[in-house]
Each structure stands twice: as structure tokens, then as C-alpha cells.
Amino acid sequence: MNMQVKALTFDTGGTILDWHSGVCSAFQKVGARHDMSLDWHAVTNDYRRLAMKGIVGQVQPAFNMDDVHRTALDEVLVQHGLQQFDAAERWQIFHAWHQLAAWPDFPAALARIRQKLPAISFTMLPLSLVLDVSRKNDLDWDAVISCEMIGIYKPNPQAYLRAAQWLGMEPSEILMVACHNFDLNAARACGFKTAFVRRPFEWGPEGPPDPKPHPDCDIVVDGFDELAKLVGI
């Protein structure tokens, strides 16, 4: 990779973690107990949209994304007439976030990338969630920088600048990796290099809302094998 970057920062929810399958499966299991067969894909995506709305761009919030996941779950259940889900069932769905699977091409790629450069999870998800899913998926990061720790959430530029400061690097020395243009565009505006990784199944059968990489991305890859190969060069 001829970009002279010194580290890679990875968006984690969506880019690394398959939230749609994990959360949808939890909805399905609870729904089955109530003999329901809704479009759980749609419920899951409505839930995700509500959660993102609750956290994106927040500055010094009194809550983290776990709190948002709890609140947004209650809201989406009302929207879809599912108020009968009890506290234990709601916890089961909420807890699915802490048990998400990584996309299958990521764990081996992470290990390869780290032979060359530091790899950092840089995420709106809480630190404790990243710890849980990283242990579950055998992901060893060089560090986890959660926006919870910064107190300012992506895509606020201060979040990216603070992450670069903590890494002791210029933004131009960092490659931000994500499957979301909103994240990469904000990182690029702060001076980061950017890599778009296609995750066509992030939103399940519906497909992602913004799948076409912005033309200013430095790298566009179909998956993490391809990214690991580029980093190895």
C-alpha cells in the first residue's frame, strides 16, 4: 500500500459486525415464542435507524449506545405493535448486540493486517460491547477507541481529530476503514485516508441505503481479504 499510513482505524458496527443477522435472529426467536411471523428484517432495520438517530453526532451525551439500544428497542416495539414482549425478552434482543458475529472475512484479515500496521476499532459502540464481541470472534485489536471514551460521536470532526491525537499521528497517517460514506466522508474532511469496504448484506435482504462508495475514497474493496492484501504490499 503506497499511502504511507501508520495505522488503520475500523468502523466496527456494520463494517466488522453483522448486526442485522444477529439482532434479526433475536427478534425471530422472541417472536416465535409469541407465534408471530412478522417481517423481522424490517423491524431490525427500523430498530437500527432509531438507534443511529439517537447517537450519531452526539456531544457529551449522558448515555452510551447500550442505553440507546435499550430505549430504541422499546420504541420500535411500540411502532410494530409488539408491546407484549416482556422484560426478559427485551433483554434477550438487547443482549444480541453484545454477541454479534464478525463478518467471516474479517478475523483472518485483521491478524494479517496487524503483522504490518496497528489496527484500531474506532466506533460509536460502547467499549464493553466491543470487548465482548472481540473475545467472541477472536479479534485482537491494538486498541479500541470508542466515541464513548471521546465523549463526541462520529461524524463530528472532533471525534476523528481526538482519535488521531490519541494515536499520536497526523490524520493523513491514518486509514479510516468503513462501509459507510457518512463516516468516511467525515474522516476525509479531517485529513484521514479512507477505505470503503463493501458490505452488501449489512441491512439484510433490503441492502444498504448508501452502497456506492464516494469517488474520493483512496481505496475501494469488496472485502477484507482484498484490504489485507493491499496493506501487505
The alpha carbon dihedral of 166, 171, 174, 178 has a sign of positive
Segment 90 to 129, residues that bind a second copy, using CB under 8 A = 118, 126-129
Using rule CB under 8 A, residue 38 touches a second copy:
no
Q: How far is the CB of 49 from a second copy (least distance, A)?
A: 25
Interaction of residue 82 with a second copy, rule CB under 8 A: no
Among 16, 96, 144, 184, binds a second copy (CB under 8 A): 144
DSSP 117: S
Give the strands of the sheet with 219-221, arranged side by side: 143-146, 119-123, 7-10, 174-178, 193-197, 219-221
Question: In whole angstroms, what is the distance from residue 119 CA to residue 112 CA?
Answer: 10
Piece of the chain touching a second copy by CB under 8 A; list 16-24, 46-54, 161-169, 209-217: 161-169
Q: CB under 8 A: which stretch of 17-25, 50-58, 139-147, 182-190 binds a second copy?
A: 139-147
In the complex, the smallest distance separating the C-beta of residue 75 from a second copy, rounded to whole angstroms, is: 23
Grid cell locating 169: 499521528
User: What's the rounded Cα separation, in Å, for the pair 165 and 157?
Assistant: 12
Which residue number, 28 or 158, has a Cβ lying nearer to a second copy?
158
Kindly report the CA angle at 96 between 47 and 71, in degrees rounded to 5?
Answer: 40
Binding site for a second copy (CB under 8 A): 66, 118, 126-131, 134-135, 140-146, 148-150, 166-169
